[in-house]
Chain A
């Protein structure tokens, strides 16, 4: 009653299971990235369907100085990421702890809260564009009840970035909430009970038990969210396309314009590489910071 010896398919299983994904990565992510590096040191233009490539790293470097949109884009992105992510973490965390203490309809509340993540960002952009509308948007209607406004939410350079951040907060608080809520629910209940027997009030339980135990989950939520925030494109594209002027120009929008509106592939590529380095170094620093905190 011997079994057949392992066949070829079985013996090579470790390899053919890994291979397809690796091929996809090489062809569609590694190669494009190398391509990007090449492009960033070349001038690269499409004219009549024919590519003209010349190796000229200095040309693209020169654009850095000549690009008036670059500085506002970087500044806006940093403000956007910092403010939006901080707000989202604070609200999401408060929400997660609050909902975990709800005794009834917990599941329903969770389902309602996570709705915004499911909406296509483009639809979020168009929804909020309607709500922000100067003439008939719900916000100005609301203000007019109190005899205020109207405010040109997206058209006024003073409000535009804040309005965009507001949309991002609406969109992504649910994401933070979902991760932290799962973490709160997963906390060992005996630890919390022990603290209460030790005489801690609810606020003290939160302060001394729940928050410290949530630290790893908060770090994960922060990292994930910060990565995504750097990539933000869709909603802002719909809401303002970076305007008015450069008030809401984010780095991803700027890249898009350089690549596809100005057709400046070489500079676009160099800019892309710069953005990648920015994101990676930001994450390395923040990771160092969160890990350093853990040891303390």
Chain B
């Protein structure tokens, strides 16, 4: 277990820069999730931490030691790969204890560790099999087992669940989380799935185009996205956005004429071009709401219902109670309370008020 410090790490291939000065402090025992769309640099960052790729600039510090010049094998890390990368010519047991055999640990110690890990992951009956004889879920467990057998300072996960089907993914998500609570080892987890990020992370790092957009706990990101990108990326269905100008009366006038209320703190913003964001659950159907729409689609999910409405600024998603059943094609007005409107600068895309 160790704290990890990422200091001014940047990566470029020739003139093409894929990551710009990333700074991140990870505490001992923390579960950090790096999330972002593909190509945002999250995997590159993870691979730099692992030592599989070199940073063009900056330092990686693990447990107080600068590890830039260490080979991956010298960093005392374990990594779970998206494709699992099990060794096809070795039985499950040999896959699990490969690291300990390489380090020439005494036999009883190896056996004990394998036994513990196999027990934790329910692999006891599979030890004699070859990877090709396992199902996808079992392979995933072996990949996890290979990481925990050796008790490394740091766990790295590179989209470990994306090759599983939806049901198994939800189950393994909980299991990895539980495992982390038991072992308590520092973990860095890369995913493109914001639900995975929200459910697993102590803290989430949202990345976009090689930059860190925001770092924070899942609820911090949800409640106070610091950029337009984070606001759009976190939450499903996504936030609804309106472009408009802040008037002196603390209201936003959208181009199509709707008038959205803002909290009094926005008085300073008068005259500014902004983007207003409203989550589906903060919109409600009222007779004199400022947003005029027409119902196009209703999705009943069981616990809740989402309705999609065509408004002046495109499609709007509204969360409704489970029994709500607006008629398709009917005209509906939506309203929102001032404290639920997120305001972003349309130029810099940054959050304007807290």
What is the interface size of chain B, counting residues whose CB is below 8 A from a CB of the partner? 5
Q: Which of B101-117 contact A (CB under 8 A)?
A: 103
Interface string of B30-71 (1 = CB under 8 A from A): 000000000000000000000000000000000000000001
| Cβ of B76 under 8 Å from chain A | yes
Contact with B along A1-21 (1 / 0, CB 8 A): 111011000000000000000
- Asked if B165 is an interface residue, CB under 8 A from chain A, the answer is no
Question: Is B73 close to A, CB under 8 A?
Answer: yes
Nearest CB of chain B from residue A8's CB, rounded to whole Å = 14
Contact check, B76 vs A5: say whether CB atoms are below 8 A apart. no
Residue B287 interfacial (CB < 8 Å): no
Q: Smallest CB-CB separation from B73: which chain A residue?
A: A3
Task: Indicate with 1 or 0, residue by residue over A251-282, a CB within 8 angstroms of chain B CB atoms.
Answer: 00000000000000000000000000000000
A215, chain B: closest CB distance, angstroms: 31
By beta carbon, the residue of chain B nearest A2 is: B74
Question: Looking at the complex, which one of B71, B76, B103 makes contact with A6 (CB distance below 8 Å)?
Answer: B71
Which residues of A lie under 8 Å from residue B74 when comparing CB positions? 2-3, 5
On whether the beta carbons of B103 and A1 are closer than 8 Å, the reply is yes
Task: Output the nearest chain A residue to B76 by Cβ-Cβ distance.
Answer: A1
Q: Is the interface of B mostly helix, strand, loop or mixed?
A: loop
Interface centre among A2, A5, A6 (most CB of B within 10 A): A2
B105 — nearest CB in chain A belongs to which residue? A1
Contacts of A3 in B (CB 8 A): 71, 73-74, 103
Residues on B with beta carbons closer than 8 Å to the beta carbon of A2: 74, 76
Q: What's the A-B contact tally at a CB cutoff of 8 Å?
A: 10
Interface members, chain B 66-95 (any A CB < 8 Å): 71, 73-74, 76
Residues of A within 8 A of B71 (CB): 3, 6
| Minimum distance in angstroms from A9 CB to a CB of chain B | 14
Query: Chain A nearest CB: distance from B61 CB in Å?
Result: 16
Q: How far is the CB of B79 from chain A (nearest CB, A)?
A: 16
| Distance between B64 CB and nearest chain A CB, rounded to angstroms | 14
Q: Mark A135-153, 1 if CB is under 8 A from B, else 0.
A: 0000000000000000000
- Chain A hits for B103, CB < 8 A: 1, 3
Query: In the complex, how many angstroms separate the beta carbon of B195 from the nearest chain A beta carbon?
Result: 32
Distance of A3 Cα from B73 Cα, bound (Å) = 7
Instruction: Report the minimal beta-carbon distance from A280 to chain B, rounded to whole angstroms.
Output: 34
Give Cα A3–Cα B74 distance, bound, in whole angstroms. 5
In chain A, residues 1-46, which have Cβ atoms closer than 8 Å to a Cβ of chain B? 1-3, 5-6
B144-184 interface bits toward A, Cβ cutoff 8 Å, 1 = contact, 0 = none? 00000000000000000000000000000000000000000
Chain A, residues 84-100, CB within 8 Å of chain B (1/0): the string is: 00000000000000000
B119 to chain A, nearest CB (A): 23
Chain A residue at minimum C-beta to C-beta distance from B71: A6
Tell me which residues from 204 to 250 in chain B have a Cβ below 8 Å from any Cβ of chain A. none
User: CA of A6 to CA of B74 in the docked complex: distance in angstroms?
Assistant: 9
State A2–B63 Cα separation when bound (angstroms). Answer: 13
CB closest residue in chain B, given A5: B74
A91 to B73, CA, bound (A): 55
**Complex: A2 Cα to B74 Cα, angstroms:** 6
User: B73 contacts which chain A residues (CB < 8 A)?
Assistant: 3
| Shortest beta-carbon distance from B102 to chain A in Å | 8
Nearest B residue to A6 via CB reads B71
CA distance A6 to B76 in the complex (A): 15
The CA-CA distance from A1 to B74 in the complex, in Å, is: 9
A12 to chain B, nearest CB (A): 15
A-side contacts of B76, CB under 8 Å: 1-2
- What CA separation (Å) do A1 and B71 show in the bound complex? 15
How far, in Å, is A7 (CB) from chain B's closest CB? Answer: 12
Nearest Cβ distance between residue B28 and chain A, in whole angstroms? 17
A3 to B71, CA, bound (A): 10
Contacts of A6 in B (CB 8 A): 71
Closest residue of chain A to B150 (Cβ to Cβ) is A1
Q: How far is the CA of A2 from the CA of B77 in the complex (A)?
A: 11
Instruction: Report how far A6 CA is from B72 CA in the complex, Å.
Output: 11
CB distance from A268 to the nearest CB of B (A): 49
Most chain B CB within a 10 A radius of its CB, from A1, A5, A6: A1
Could you tell me the distance between the alpha carbons of A291 and B74 in the complex, rounded to whole angstroms? 48
Chain A, residue nearest B102 (CB): A3
A5 vs B103: C-alpha distance in the bound complex, in angstroms? 13
CB distance from A185 to the nearest CB of B (A): 21
Cα distance, A3 to B102, chains bound together (Å): 10
Q: How far is the CA of A2 from the CA of B75 in the complex (A)?
A: 8
A-B contact pairs, 10 of them (CB 8 A): A1-B76, A1-B103, A2-B74, A2-B76, A3-B71, A3-B73, A3-B74, A3-B103, A5-B74, A6-B71
Q: 4 closest pairs, A vs B, by CB?
A: A3-B74, A3-B73, A6-B71, A2-B74
Interface residues of B (CB under 8 A from A): 71, 73-74, 76, 103
Inter-chain pairs besides A3-B71, A3-B74, 8 sampled, C-beta below 8 Å: A1-B76, A1-B103, A2-B74, A2-B76, A3-B73, A3-B103, A5-B74, A6-B71
